[in-house]
Amino acid sequence: MRPRLVGDLLATLNEPTHLRILNSVSRVPLSVPDLAAILELPEPIVSAAIETLQNLRIVRAFTVVPHVLYTLAPLAAHHERLACAALDAVRGDPAAQRDRAAARARSRARLDTRARPALMDAT
């Protein structure tokens, strides 16, 4: 385990926006607009935070047309322990619980929006 990488991870987890994003995407995959709405932050700030998290390989992107969604990436064991410890620490926080609930609601709304037309076409 290289000290610089651990230090970068700890510094990243110490930043509230990064931690809120990780908390949200730990439950469901989300897009930048979803995260911006949940966190009540401008999209450029969320995009910059996502870029930082991607550079450290904490989150990964995948495309579900027309969205680019972000989720937690598989982490090396030592990074996973640190990330899990940080997420466990905020699990009981009411603000973090609201973020996770909003993440689930936005994810369900996106699924309903995509699934409903497909179901209508099938009938």
Do residues 38 and 102 lie in contact, with contact meaning Cβ atoms separated by under 8 Å? Answer: yes
Write the single-letter amino acid at 83.
A
Average pLDDT, integer, range 41-55: 95
- Domain assignments of the chain as residue spans, ordered by start: 3-122
- The CATH number that domain 3-122 falls under is 1.10.10.10
Q: What is the pLDDT of residues 11-24, one digit of tens each?
A: 888 899 999 999 99
Q: What is the pLDDT of residues 68-118, one digit of tens each?
A: 999 999 887 777 888 888 889 888 899 999 999 999 998 888 766 654 444
Please tell me the distance from the alpha carbon of residue 102 to that of residue 110, in angstroms, as a whole number. 12
